A = this chain, B = another copy of it.
Amino acid sequence: VIFYLLDLLGVAVFAVSGALAAGRAGLDLLGVVVIAAFTAVGGGTVRDLLLNRHPIFWIADSRYLAVIFLASLLTVAYMRVLPMPQNAFLVVDALGLALFALSGAEIAETVNASAVIVVLMGTMTGVAGGVLRDILTGVVPLVLRRDIYASAATAGIVLYLLLQAAGVKHSVAFGLGMACVVTIRLLAILWNWQLPTFHFT
């Protein structure tokens, strides 16, 4: 049940991130909610479609949509009166990324996908929502060009798989994988780590 609560928290965090992006693009109230929803459940939806898991998780359980709706409205209300708590948000976003990546990997494991697919599905669950958010608000997806973001998710999932292969208990491996994602992500922000970029002409 703790994972379910964490999952809802992850959805709420990504919904806030989507609502903020929609605000930056000057969308109306409906647009804010829609972008928040895409950001929060986009990754998991693509994962479920690719793995042929039906019904899609947010169709089966309406609480996800309720959380997104509430989180969007609270974000709009909050931004009317207070400035954005930049640092707090980045920490919570890192937590959401870690959670989505690991739970996405876990779900891919349940359908007996190969290790490569597990890593890929987990990373995608973590970042696809943000990519959709960026496409819908008209910017080149940031996740593909800045910071260590998807790479942090990949690293954490690989650690999780290695620990499981080494016989570590599942919940411990899950927790350490998440810690790995959060740590790499926050250090990357703190020290401005970047993967090398390429400019062809």
Contacts and interface: CB of A to CB of B under 8 A. Distances in A.
A30 B28 CA distance: 33
**How many copies of this kind of chain does the complex include?**
3
Interface residues of A, number: 56
B199 A26 contact: yes
Interface in A136-160: 136-141, 143-146, 150-151
A176 interface: no
22 contacts: A22-B144, A23-B198, A26-B197, A26-B199, A27-B144, A28-B145, A28-B194, A28-B198, A29-B195, A29-B196, A31-B143, A49-B49, A52-B55, A59-B117, A66-B116, A76-B198, A79-B198, A131-B136, A135-B136, A136-B141, A138-B139, A138-B140
Interface of A: 20, 22-32, 34-35, 45, 49-52, 54-56, 59, 62, 65-66, 76, 79, 84, 113-114, 116-117, 120, 131, 135-141, 143-146, 150-151, 194-201
